[in-house]
Amino acid sequence: MKVVAKHWQCIKSCGACCRLAPEERPEALEVLNQEQLQTYLKMVQSDGWCRHYDSVTKDCRIYETRPDFCRVELMPALFGIEEKDSDMFAINCCRQQIRSIYGGKSKVLRRFESSIRKAKKNNG
C-alpha cells in the first residue's frame, strides 16, 4: 500500500526524517523486521543523524535508492494504517518529526504546512 497522496508531500531541504536517533523513534523501530532494523541501526551516526544525510543541503544522498522504511509513502503499511487514512498519517508523521527537530514555529514547519494547504486547495 502506498500513501494516497492527496495532500501530503515531501518538501525540499527539510531532512527531518533523516534524524534516526533510536531513542527518539522507538515506535518506528517496533514495526521494522529484523533485516530492516539492522539496516536502520547501521545508518545511524553517533549524533543521531543518518549517515546519508547531507546537513548542508538538508537532502538525502541516496534518495532514489533509500530503504523502504525511509519512504513516507510506504510507512502506513508498516504501521498497519488503512489506505483511506494514509494521507493524514503521513502528514501527522511529518508534522511531528519536523516539530521535534526544528520547532513548532520553524520555517521548515511553515513551509510544510503551506505545501499541505496548497495541495488541499488544488486537490480538493
Q: Is residue 10 part of a domain?
A: no
Helix (H) or strand (E) holding 97: helix 86-102
pTM for this entry? 0.86
What is the pLDDT at residue 1?
A: 52
Q: Is residue 43 part of a domain?
A: yes
Region 84-93 average pLDDT: 91
Q: Cell digits for 97? A: 518529526
Q: How many domains does the chain have?
A: 1
Q: Is residue 84 part of a domain?
A: yes
What is the pLDDT at residue 4?
A: 53
* Cβ-proximal residues to 8 (8 Å cutoff; 6+ apart), any chain: 72, 87, 90, 91, 94, 116, 119
- Structural domain that includes position 47: 16-123
